[in-house]
Structures are given as structure tokens and as C-alpha cells.
Structure 1
């Protein structure tokens, strides 16, 4: 039996109060908290919208800045100062806007938020770097472009006006510093910590700065070097040594003639020209040649001018040559510059044809075959006349250049010659040499990094003649990690071919074939190849068709070296493979420095092309384990 009141008997429940009544008695503190949360949520949403909108607009501004940078470069390349200034102004406007959009207090506060903040910080860094490049690099450089552009510099009456270049030095120094700082800021961004679109923007900015850097560096080097080297602070004297690639040396060719050039307050004049054979030889070295160098290349490096460049270390060769000049002629040598007929051929494109005292008209098309082949047929038994002809040719081109030529065409020719290692410059002044060492003109031994093994292949004639006019060279290289310890194996493969006619022994002058004077049959070509491995590396093997080949092994400034002799009759070829083991590299990157040679068929090499190096696969099965 149920007890208590039934549903029907129970007293009625009070009606539920309305919603307002239920909450009427909450504390003011509770109501304030809810209101604050609502306001905060609104502010967060507003901040997200604000940052998103400004980030989008900043991206638009940065995207618009990229073509402005390229427009500035294009205008400068065309010597269009007005166009460059206009493009620079547009670039600056877009860059300023990007910085303004990414530097307000809300954006800066949001940069402290985990994950999101890193992306925002990357965008603001890109914006500031772009603004710095626009305002502190491009804008001031455009204002001095007309006075420091290497293509607009030219000698008038043998003199270059140095005043505008000197005036531009502080501007250039500040611009280079600002650029390096901006590039460092972009380089410090961790791409792995940002979202893909921002990572792509970082990559694009890095690529753009890498694209601009060489142009900026070239102008900076010009501004820093030219005044001093051309006598702004006192007279200078330079040796211009003419290398003959028909008789190879590691830096390009035997030194056939030497010209002394003086410079003072921008005025340049040829002083003395002599044949290389008129300098030395000496019974003992005139310069302190390192024992390792003598061990690899013999004792003649320090005794014969023609042999100072058996070593590929051009600064060492240049110091030795300058010591020999001073020993013979006295005075002071402030630097050494190399050229060869391929360089003269390129310069003749700027100067136009030059008439020589002999009546010959020297042109870009005939300079190489005339100076490196035709002259030996004309004077087969008169080396003094050959040297004199070459010297007169170099002097005639020099006279045309100092007389005033198209600066843009000349700089193009000289830049191409430097790119292909056919012009090298050494300065006896430490401050200038330190700048040259950062360029392709220094001719120093290649320098390795942890990511890249710097290799070298250098050729020296051992025939004792001018047969290298017919020598064809082919260089290939590769790198791989084949060992359990992770050390990198690099391989160099060199193929030499004697392209001389089959009847070279009788068809060519004895002066060209050597007539067997050094034990090489007429018509044959004998070459010493110096293979250089990476610094701190090890020589692992020297082979031809899988068979060990005799070699001279040594080191040069911490680099393992193998010197191999190859002798070829007309039509013969031979391939040498050399393997090195890197001990300081952790990645299979590599570079290869190669002696600039001729094509071996009588045609003129492309002066703007670096010696070609093909890529090969390293067969790990053959690697020393």
C-alpha cells in the first residue's frame, strides 16, 4: 500500500521564475567576467582579422617589389639612370608599405604567440630586409651608378678620372654593409618553422638577393680597387705577362713576353716590353719557393721565368715573376696581370681591328691562329722574332685601349676573360690582394668547404715545344658517399687527345714539334697533369682503364696531389682516373678548377666559358673501403 500523498493530493509546486528572474541575483563580478570574455573573444577575432588583412596586403606589396628590383637591374644594365631611379622609387614605396603593415603594436604582440608568431616574424623580417635593400642599397647606388658602372669607365687620352670613383667609396661601403645585413637577416629565417606560402617567399627573397649579390660585389670591388691600383695615392707599376697556351703551364701558358705598365693619378702608360727569355735564368731560386712545390714541379720554378707558373698557385707564381723582374730591371712591382691571345681576341671585339708594325691586321677572328700557329710558320727558326711579334701585338692592343674605346664592350670582354680564368691579377699590396682573393681573378688554389670538395686539374707541357695548339682536353668529375664511415669519395677523369696531323713530324716547324730536343719524338705531345684533391683529403688511386698508373704523389698547402705524365702520338687518346677520399666533407658536393686550354682544332675558345667539366657517376664498387 502506498504511503504519503498522491500526485493529485500533493500541494502545487511554485511556478518557475522567468530567465531574467533566475539570473537577477548573480553577483556583479560574475556578470563582469562573462562580459569581459565576450569582449576578449571579439578583440581576438578582430585582431585575427586585422593581422590577416594586413598580412595579405603586405604580401601584395612584397610581390609588387620583386619586379621593381628586376626593373632596376635592367635599367642599370642599359645605362638608363632615369629608368633605374623611377623603378627604385617604386620599389621603395612598396617596401615602406610592407614594413608599415607588419610593424604595428598588434602585429608585434602577435609575434610572441607560439607557432603563429614565427610566421608573422618571418613576414616582418622579409619586409624590413626588402625596405633596407630599397632604401639603403638600391636608392643610393642608383644615384652614383653613372660614375661607378664599370661599363661607363673608359680611358680618355690614357687617363681615367678617379675623382667620381673616390667620391663613391663611402656610399658604396654603406650600401654593401646594408645589403650584407639584410641578406643575413633573410638567411636566418628557419624555413622549416613557417607555413608553405611564407617559406616560398623566403626562398624567393633569398634567390633574388643571390641574383643581385654578384653585381653589387663587382661594383664594390671596382670602387675599392681602381683608385689605389691606378695611382690615386702614388705611382704604381705592373707587369702584364703574356701567357702562351700553345705551350701549357698550370695557370694558362708559358710566359712569352712581359710588359711593364705605369699608372699615376689615373694616367696609364706602357713603359717597357721585353721577351720572357731575356729575364734569367738563375743558378739558384730568386724567391723562396716552398719545398712541396719544388717536389711536385721541380727546381726550375724559382729559376726560370717561363716556369714560375708550373704551379697553379698564381699568387706564388706572380710573386716569383715580380722578384725576377726586380732582380733584372730594378724598381718596384706593385702587381702582376696575365693575358693570352684568347683575351686579346676578346678585346679586339671592343677595339676593332688593329694594324701591327709588320703590316698585319690583327682581328678577333685571326688573333689566336696567327699568334699561336701562323707566326711559327713565318719565323720557324727565329724565336726572338716570334716573341717580338707577340709583344708588338699586345702593345698595339694596349695602345688602342688606353686611347679610348667603348667601355661597355671592353668590360664585357675583360669580365668574360676573368670568368674563364684567362685573366688573373695579383697585387703586392695586402689590402688589395685580400679583395682580389674573393674574386675569380685571384688564381689561388681552390678552397674546400664541409659541403664541397674543391678539386683541380692543371696541365703543364713536357714536350718543350708549341704542340699544345693541337691538344684536346676533356675533364669530368663526380662525388659519392660509398663508405660506411660517411666519408666522401671524389673522382677526376681526364682524357687527352693529340689532334695534330698524322705527318706532324715533317709538316710542322721544328720549333713547334720540339724536334726531339727533350726526348719526345716530333709530332708527339707529352703532358704532365696535376690532379688536386680536397684540403685534408687523401689520394686513393691513379688508374687508366682500371690499371694503376705511375704518378708523383705529394701535397700542396694541405691538398693531396698526383702528377701524371701522358705522351701521345698524333691521333692517340688516353684517359686517366684519379680518386680522392675527403676527410672533412659530409656532403658530395664538388667544384673543379681547370687550366684554360685551346680547343685543339685551331679555332678560338669561347672566352666567356669556364673550362667544361662533365659529370660522371662514381662506381662505389671500385672505391677504397
Structure 2
């Protein structure tokens, strides 16, 4: 009996232990699995923090041109991203992805990790290879820039831009958040910063690509248009330089006075028409004076043919710069000192070049022979252009490419930088970017033209004001819109300026500004109801399919502004508001 009782007690104990084990062992297993999940989550969180730190290191190293540090940081990023991907590919995580409530978190985590892995494989690693093969330290070669290095980075940015767009799109589809998911988004935001300038300035970069080509030999003219001798397309081209691409290196050549560079007469190959001479004056027969025509596409083409006619060298394009660009460049590069001791910087360059040098050497307060002084000042202008361009090359900082690009963008908008390219495909890009300086033929984006020129030899462009105002539109029955336009030309010269100036600066009008004015209607539009405050007659005509009104014989005296009021009507059915293109003046630099 006792034995049976002992057996029953043992069996009871075994059942208790067995039942306990059935409960405890699964609990232990669950706790173990839970702890492994917690460990994995902590590991992933640490890896995400590593990604953020290493991406900051990548961007810092790129700015400092430290390719070895970039490579080391990218290696750590790659290791971290692959480690996270490995963890999430394990069976225990795949199992969770089938549980209804949890699966959305697992799938979102998979998406975020895939983005990081793709960023490493498709963006960062290729970038390291480009930096190793084309180190930025070798961008400059002598007095120029290596075209293959520039193109390598442009190719890289073009390649990764859609990759980063896809990553951004993938992250936007993730609808759940984690403790570190925001860091993944910030990580991709940092990748976006690599291509930000490329995306923002894509149309201008396309022009630059066409300008560079594949590095084969090319030659471009750089015309420094003098706003003190203001012309419709900018100014008199006092100095002309070159940009050459030779043996894969782009370099800036010397600037010379226009009289030594362009043929005197317009070549037969681009002969000026009698109609153009009527509209823009007979000065159009001279190559240097075709800038009375506001259409820079026409002007640039003539200057290119004129240079080739005189020098026997083919020209692939022409860039026009006004003096305000000099000041904008010097704001980033620092100042220069001319051979006569004149200091130019980012605050004073325009005023010095457009007024003070003339008053220093060519006013009636100096004893210098005018002819010799004029040659000397022309030489100083040529020296300025060369010094500034050389300083730009020597002080070039690739970290400021966005700022340099902004100079070009702003210059295209206000016509202080214009460009003509012989290649029609390249010129199409120039037009689309808005820096061709051509007359507007886009009916859907109506633009009125207001162009002023000093018509008599003087340096009075410094004093001219050209102000425009567009009134509210009236919608006509045919869907066209009519605007009241007001143009005011005024002369800011004061008696002290007149007293000190002398005839070379003032011209023949003793402080008055003798000029031309050309008013263009938008494509498919008209000009009507013209009135002028001085009763001068405006002649109606047509040029390149655009209606215009012009006058070639008036003088703007100090304290006697000339106001022109007229109506501009757009083409039928155009909804875009009217804008104005006008000759850039120096008003804001006085």
C-alpha cells in the first residue's frame, strides 16, 4: 500500500512538473525571442545613428575635398545599412511580417532600410569613385579648368538625381513612424543637398554642358559692354576677350580694345539690312555699333563673324557682360588693384569704372591729352577685365558654385549677362534659360520691350534713368488684354558733375543725353495711343515680326524727364500677365 501511495505521489509530482514545464518553457522561449527582438531593435537604432553621423562626415569631407575621409565614411555607411538589411531578413522578422497589426511596421522598416542600402550602392559609392578618379584638387590646370573633371561631376550629378528622387518618393509612401525613422528622412534630405544646386539650376547647367562640349577645341568671345556708353543690348563693347578650350582645358584670354579685335564694317556674311539701318540708325554699318539693336542674338552673331573676318579664327559663341557683373564677381573673390593704383571691390567697382575713372583722367579738370588719356582708360578697362577673370580662376571655390550660378541667373533676367551660341541646339537652351537677349517671340508669355541707347559719343550712360510701369489690364472681346504702359527717361546729372566733366564725358549736349528709344510690342500684339511729354514723334514699324515704335532724335535734359504713355495689347487668348524687358541701367549703383 505504501509503495502504491509513493508511486501516486511521484506521478503527481511529475504531472505538476510537466504541467509547469508546459507553461514555463514557452514563457522562457517567448522571453528569449522578445529579448532578441529588443536586441535587434537597439542594434538598428544604433546603426541609424551611425548613418546620420557618417553622412554628416561625408558632406563635411566633400566640402574639404578629403576623398579618403569620404571613402571611410561611405564604407561605414555601407556596413551599417547592410547590417540592418541582414537583421530584417532573418526568419523571426519575416514571421512578424505576417501578423496583421505588425506587418505594416515591418514592411515600412524594410522600405526605409532598402532606401539606405540603395543610397550607398547607387549614390555614395559612385561618388567616391568619381572623387578618386577626378579629385577636385586637380580641377584647375594652370590658368584654366579641366573640362573632363567638370564633366565627370556633372555626369555624376545627372545620374544620381533620379535615384535620390526615387528614394524621396519611397520614404513619402511610408505611413508609420518609428523612434528613428525621422533620421532616415533627414539622411535622404542630406543626399538631396548633393544635387540641390543641380536641380535648381538645371537649365543653366545644360547650357554649360553645351558650352564645354566634350573638351574638344572651341573659342568664345567675351564682350565687356560699357554701360556708360549705353546701348539697347547693353553698352558699347569697349573691351573684348576670349574663352578658349584647348587640349581639354578651358582658359580665359586677354582683353583688348574693340578697335583691335572686330572688323570695322559688318562682314558681308551677316550684312545689316537697310531696314535695320532705318530703325536702329546708320551706325549699324559698323560692327562695334550693332548693339543699337536690342536683339542680342543678332548682335552676337555679327560680332562672331566680325572677329572671324578680321582674325581668321572661328567663333563658337559670344558672351556679353556689363560692368555690374565685375562688381558681383569681386564680392565673392575679393578686390583687385589696377596698375594706376585704383582699387576695385564688390562695393565700388561699378561706380569707379562707369564714372570715377572718366572724371579722373578725361574731365576738364585734368591736363592730360584727351587722346592719350582715352587710350589709357581703355587699357585700364581691358586690364580690369583680365584681372577680374584671372582672380576668378585663381580664387575659384567650388563650394560657392551656387553663388556663382546665381550671378549668371540674375544676369540673364536683367540682361547684364547675355549669350549667343552658334550651335542651334545650344542656342535653344540659352533661350529657354532666358539669357539669349533675343526679342521675345513667346506668345503665351507676353513681354514688352523698352530699349534705350545713347546715340552720341559721350559717357552719359551713368546718369540715365529708365523707369517703366505697367497698369492693370483690360480684357477685350477677342480675349486679348490691353495694358497702359508708362516709360520715363530722366537724367540724374547735377551741376557739379557738368562743371567737372568736360566735352569728352558730356558729349555735345552740355549735360543732356542724346538718345534712341525703341518700344516693342509682344508677339502677336500691338502698340497704340502713344503720347509723349515733349511732343516728340514716335514712328511705328515692324521688326522680326514684332510691332515697334521708335525715335532716334531726342535729348533728355537734367530735371526735364521725358514721359511716354501708350497702350500694349497682347495676342488674343493669352492669360499670362505682361512683363517688360529693358536695357539695364546703372541707377541702383549711384
Q: Does the CA-based 8 Å contact 2:525-2:570 persist in structure 1?
A: yes
Report SS of the residue matched to 1:506.
Answer: helix
The C-alpha deviation readout for 1:38-92, integer Å capped at 9, x for no partner, is: xxxxxxxxxxxxxxxxxxxxxxxxxxxxxx9xx99xx89x969989x99xx99xx
Q: Are 1:368 and 2:362 counterparts?
A: no
* CA separation of 1:359 and 1:154: change in aligned 2, threshold 3 A: farther
Count of aligned residue pairs for this structure pair? 450
Give me the whole-angstrom Cα distance separating, in 2, the residues matched to 1:216 and 1:153.
Answer: 25
Q: Aligned pair in 2 of structure 1 residues 141, 375: CA closer, same or farther (>3 Å)?
A: farther
Distance in 1 (alpha carbons) for counterparts of 2:541 and 2:137: 47
1:218 corresponds in structure 2 to 201
Partner of 2:309: 327
Q: Which residue of 1 aligns with 2:462?
A: 469
Larger deviation, residues 564-573 vs 317-326: 564-573
Q: Does 1:490 align with 2:477?
A: no
What is the CA distance between 1:323 and its match in structure 2?
1.1
Give, in angstroms, the shift of residue 509 of structure 1.
2.5
The alignment partner of 1:415 has SS state of: helix
Confirm whether residue 406 of structure 1 aligns to residue 397 of structure 2. yes
When residues 255 and 179 of structure 1 are mapped into structure 2, their CA distance, relative to the original with a 3 A threshold, is: farther
Q: Which position in structure 2 is the counterpart of 1:543?
A: 531
**Structure-2 change in CA distance of 1:219 and 1:486 (3 Å):** closer
Which of 321, 332, 338 pairs up with 2:320?
338
Match of 2:16 in 1: none
User: Is residue 502 of structure 1 aligned with residue 495 of structure 2?
Assistant: yes
User: Is the alpha carbon distance of 1:174 and 1:250 closer, same or farther for their aligned partners in structure 2, counting shifts above 3 Å?
Assistant: same
What residue in structure 2 maps to residue 269 of structure 1? 251
1:580 counterpart residue number: 568
TM-score, reference length from structure 1: 0.62
Structure 1 partner of 2:387: 396
Q: Which runs of 5+ in 2 are unaligned?
A: 1-51, 65-69, 82-113, 168-191, 363-369
In proportion to residue count, which structure has more helix?
2
Q: Distance in 1 between matches of 2:475 and 2:517?
A: 26
Output the CA distance in 2 between the equivalents of 1:79 and 1:541: 58
Moved more, 523-532 or 575-584: 575-584
**For 2:283, which of 300, 322, 326 is the aligned residue?**
300
Shift of 1:342: 1.0
Are the equivalent residues in 2 in contact too, given 1:227–1:266 (CA < 8 A)? no
Aligned partner of 1:460 among 450, 453, 460? 453
Measure the CA separation in 1 of the matches of 2:486 and 2:450: 9
In 2, Cα distance between equivalents of 1:152 and 1:440: 33
Instruction: Give the conservation status (yes or no) of the 8 Å contact 2:320–2:418.
Output: yes
Mapped partners of 2:567, 2:164: distance in 1: 40
Match 1:431 to one of 425, 428, 436: 425
Structure-2 residue corresponding to 1:525: 513
Question: Match for residue 422 of structure 1?
Answer: 416
- Other-structure match for 2:359: 377
In the TM superposition, what are the counterparts of 1:105-116 in structure 2 within 5 Å? none
Distance 1:526 1:497 in 2: 12
Distance in 1 (alpha carbons) for counterparts of 2:548 and 2:313: 36
Change (3 A) 1:319 1:476: same
Structure 1 residues 478 and 233: CA distance shift in structure 2, 3 A: same
Aligned to 1:114: none
1:607 — aligned with what? none
Distance in 2 separating the partners of 1:413 and 1:458: 27
Q: 1:27-42, aligned counterparts within 5 Å? A: none
Superposed CA RMSD in Å reads: 4.2
Q: Which of 557, 564, 571 is the equivalent residue of 2:551?
A: 564
CA distance in 2, matches of 1:465, 1:291: 26
Quote the residue 1:50 is aligned against. Answer: none
The alpha-carbon distance between structure 1 residues 175 and 332, as it changes in their structure 2 partners (threshold 3 A), is: same
Write out per-residue CA displacement over residues 190-217 of structure 1, whole angstroms, 9 at most, x where no aligned residue: xxxxxxxxxxxxxxxxxxx9xx998516
Tell me the SS of whatever aligns to 2:233.
coil
1:596 has 2:584 as partner: yes
Cα displacement (A) at 1:377: 2.1
Decide which of 145, 162, 176 is 1:160's aligned counterpart. Answer: 145
Task: Give a deviation string over 1:239-266, Cα, whole Å, max 9, x none.
Answer: 1111111111122111111112322244
C-alpha separation between the residues in 1 aligned to 2:295 and 2:166? 33
Deviations 1:403-441 (A, max 9, x none): 242234465245225413211222222332222222132
Deviation string 1:325-370 (CA, Å, 9 cap, x unpaired) is 1122221112111122211111112221212222322222231122
Secondary structure, in 3 states, of the residue corresponding to 1:596? coil
Quote the Cα distance in structure 2 between the aligned partners of 1:377 and 1:414.
Answer: 34
CA distance, structure 1, for counterparts of residue 299 and residue 137 of structure 2? 32
1:82-137 CA deviation, whole Å, 9 max, x = no partner? 89x99xx99xxxxxxxxxxxxxxxxxxxxxxxxxxxxxxxxxxxxxxxx99x999x
Structure 2 Cα separation of the partners of residues 330 and 454 of structure 1: 38
Q: Does the 8 Å CA contact 1:419/1:440 hold for their aligned counterparts?
A: no
